Every structure is written in structure tokens, then in C-alpha cells.
Amino acid sequence: MLDYIKGFIELIKGLGITGKHLGMHAVTLQYPEEKDVMPERSRGVVVLLSDKEDGSLNCTGCLLCMKACPTAAIIIDAPRGEDKKRVLKKFELDFTLCCYCGLCEEACNFSALKLTGKYEYSTGDKDDLLWDVNKLQDVGRDVDYEDKRRKKVAKKPAKPVVDANAKVEDKPAKAVEIKPTESADDTKPKTEGEA
């Protein structure tokens, strides 16, 4: 009989603990309206970084990130030009494969790409998750980063020629026009295709 009374008291205690939480504030956020602040190191969407001064891509097409990627999500086509320098023809990142491990960022010596705290890029179409160089660059325009490149590399207008395909032919010109400071509208990753 004593056990039952004891048990009953314990049951009441349990109710007390859950009842106590009724008055507490919720720890969850109402997501689309409120957003959590992502930490600086957060590894979300991979973006291509642009030069802080002239807005050109930092990428030199050295293939290091492609070699470091464990899921082969990065596809780069950068054949060597006449002056033995690589010309970036194609840079694609397949987010259906990407595992956000951050090895590409660590492999890169030119601060060309970075995993950012952005995460809102879901889409109803799988094909939209294959981002080409323009999209990767546009998304990354407002990203602040620490330039790892040596000064002389930074000064050089290492402008890669982007002529991946006919569809986005007019994009490079546009990409130069947009100043990094004016690209606040591009903070939100677009879900529609670039074409």
C-alpha cells in the first residue's frame, strides 16, 4: 500500500515537472519569419568568391578542389591556354552530390570558394541543383572572406574567360558590371534555373 502512495506522489511530481515547463518560453523559432543566426564557420552552400576590388572570380582553375572532393561533386574544365595558364571554361557544382565536408575550401589556395552559412536553396527540380559558375558567383557576391592569395596574385586581373555554353553567353559581361556592393538582391539563392 505504501508503494502505491509513494508511486502516486512520484506521478504528481512528474506532472509538476512537465507543468513547470508550460510557463517557460519556447526554444523553437518560427522559421520563415525568424531565422537563426548561422555561425561564421557554418558549412552550407558552396559559393565561388569574387575579387573584392574588381569583382572577377578568384578561381584560377587549378583543379585542387576537384581533386579533393570525396563525392566528385565539382566538375571543372580548365585546359591550359597558350601561355601555359589555365583558363576556366566550366565550373559546375552538383549539390545533389555535395556532402558539405569542406575539403574543397581547405584545398583551395586562392580563396576561390567557400562554404557559407546560406541554406535556403531547396527546389522542386533536381536539375536546378547543378549550379554553374555564374550562379555560384552570384550567390557568393556578398560573402565576406579572408583573402588567402598572395598580394601580387590579388592585384593581377586574373579574369577567367567563361564561355561554357551558348545559353549563358552574355553572362560574363553582366557579371563584371555588377559591383559586389550592389548585389544585395542576390543574397537569397535563387531556385529557378539560370537559363
Residues lying near other proteins in the complex (CB under 8 A) are found at 3-4, 6-7, 10-11, 13-15, 17-19, 21-22, 24-28, 30, 38-43, 63, 66-70, 72, 99-103, 106-107, 115
Nearer to other proteins, 37 or 195 (CB): 37
Nearer to other proteins, 13 or 84 (CB): 13
Nearer to other proteins, 19 or 81 (CB): 19
Tell the smallest beta-carbon distance from residue 168 to other proteins (Å).
25
Nearer to other proteins, 22 or 166 (CB): 22
How far are the Cα atoms of 45, 150, 182 from residue 109, in angstroms, in the given order? 19, 9, 27
Residues 6+ apart with CB under 8 A from 73: 93, 94, 95, 97, 98, 99
**Helices marked H in the chain:** 2-22, 64-68, 103-107, 133-139, 151-155, 171-177
Tell the smallest beta-carbon distance from residue 45 to other proteins (Å).
12
* Among candidate residues 132, 74, 131, 135, the one with its CA nearest the CA of residue 107: 74
Angle (CA) 115 70 46, round 5°: 15
Tell the smallest beta-carbon distance from residue 182 to other proteins (Å).
28
Half-sphere exposure of 105 (CA within 13 A, CB side): 21
Tell the smallest beta-carbon distance from residue 99 to other proteins (Å).
5
Nearer to other proteins, 22 or 173 (CB): 22
Tell the smallest beta-carbon distance from residue 27 to other proteins (Å).
5
Residue 93 near residue 47, CB atoms below 8 Å: no
